[in-house]
Amino acid sequence: MTLSNNTEGATGQVWFVGAGPGDPELITVKGQRLLRQAGAVLYAGSLVNEAATLYAPATCLVRDSKDMTLEEITGWLIEQARQHKTVVRLQTGDPGLYGALVEMVQPLDAAGIPWAVVPGVSSAMASAAAAGETLTLPEVTQTVILTRVAGRTPMPAGEDLESLASHHTTLCIFLSITLLSDVQRALLAAGWDEEAPILVVQKASWPHEEKIVRGTLKDIREKCRAEKINSQAMIIASPALGARHWPEIRHSKLYDAGFSHRFRKAVKP
Ligand code: SAH
């Protein structure tokens, strides 16, 4: 009997594991451990780098879900959980963001299969990291909005990009690279300058495939077209973009010599 084999009649557990943005080293230690002990792994083929499945043992059943319907996916997970102690559904980035988590777990609940989620590094964070950017900066922006524009999935009332952009905070825009003209229109309508910096990162963290494009609200679409970027890309609009080159920035209070906190007393000037 191998470690992953279930005892007869018992039920295993399905783990929704965030694979991270693509670099196999960006999965969590826990996610990696679960893959190593998995009896079956179902990965989201369109985005998760197959390399993440490298961690699964040779005896593990590994399957790509790209041609499966929701019913097939949940049916497969239920069937595998009846045979293996550990079943992993490997998802891109973090499973709680645009990951269809609820529609997958409801049938598991109905079938009495236990499940749990292991968070992952979202592509929003990986994209900022790839470009050496911060998503928050003191007195510039202290808020990050994770959103998308309406495609086939409509946006709920009050969440259209123009309304969200009117706060002039950092915006990480998922699933919208083919809708860059909608993004441009919404930000301009919300009062963003056409010279405002915009960052697009395709395949953030993917070894040898990552592309970083910097432009302005006005020219980013053209630049992405020139780079043939039309999928798997994050759009970041933020008043903090490019701050590493600013001559002066407001420093975080945390490291300010004149600021006391739990671990350090302020130095009197
Ligand atoms: N759960 C994922 C998001 C899934 S939705 C996460 O937390 O990242 C798919 C969208 O995520 C893509 O359209 C793209 O906007 C973004 N995305 C996923 N992986 C990416 C990557 N490596 N680089 C840039 N964007 C990525």
pLDDT in tens, 119-145: 999 999 999 999 999 999 999 999 999
User: Is the domain of 95 the same as that of 139?
Assistant: no
Which residue CA neighbors atom 24 of ligand 1 most closely? 233
Q: Which CATH number is 145's domain given? A: 3.30.950.10
Does the residue 235 lie in any domain? Answer: yes
> Bigger pLDDT: 255 or 170?
170
Banded model confidence at residue 9, pLDDT cuts 50, 70, 90: low
Which residue CA neighbors atom 4 of ligand 1 most closely? 98
Does the residue 41 lie in any domain? Answer: yes
User: Is the domain of 202 the same as that of 144?
Assistant: yes
User: Is the domain of 154 the same as that of 237?
Assistant: yes
Does the residue 254 lie in any domain? Answer: no
Domain containing residue 227: 123-242
Indicate the number of domains in the chain. 2
| Ligand 1 lining (C-beta closer than 6 Å) | 21-22, 47, 92-94, 97-99, 122-123, 126-127, 174-175, 201-206, 232-234
Calculate the CA 36 to chain-centre distance. 23
Mutation to probe ligand 1, out of 144, 172, 224, 234 (largest number of atoms < 8 A from CB): 234
Euclidean distance between the first and final Cα of the chain, in Å? 69
Mean pLDDT across 136-163 = 95
What was the pLDDT predicted at 10?
Answer: 62
Please tell me the distance from the alpha carbon of residue 236 to that of residue 224, in angstroms, as a whole number: 13
What lies within 8 Å, CB to CB, of 110 at 6+ separation is none
Banded model confidence at residue 248, pLDDT cuts 50, 70, 90: confident
Does the residue 230 lie in any domain? Answer: yes
User: Is the domain of 146 the same as that of 235?
Assistant: yes
User: Is the domain of 73 the same as that of 130?
Assistant: no
Say whether pTM exceeds 0.85.
yes
Per-residue pLDDT of 46-98, as tens digits, reads: 667 676 778 999 999 999 999 999 999 999 999 999 999 999 999 999 999 99
Does the residue 258 lie in any domain? Answer: no
Q: Is the dihedral of CA 4, 5, 7, 8 positive or negative?
A: positive
> Bigger pLDDT: 48 or 27?
27
Burial 233-246 (b: 16+ CB within 10 A, else e): bbbbbbebbeeeee
Banded model confidence at residue 209, pLDDT cuts 50, 70, 90: very high
How far apart are the CA of 83 and the centre of ligand 1, in A?
32
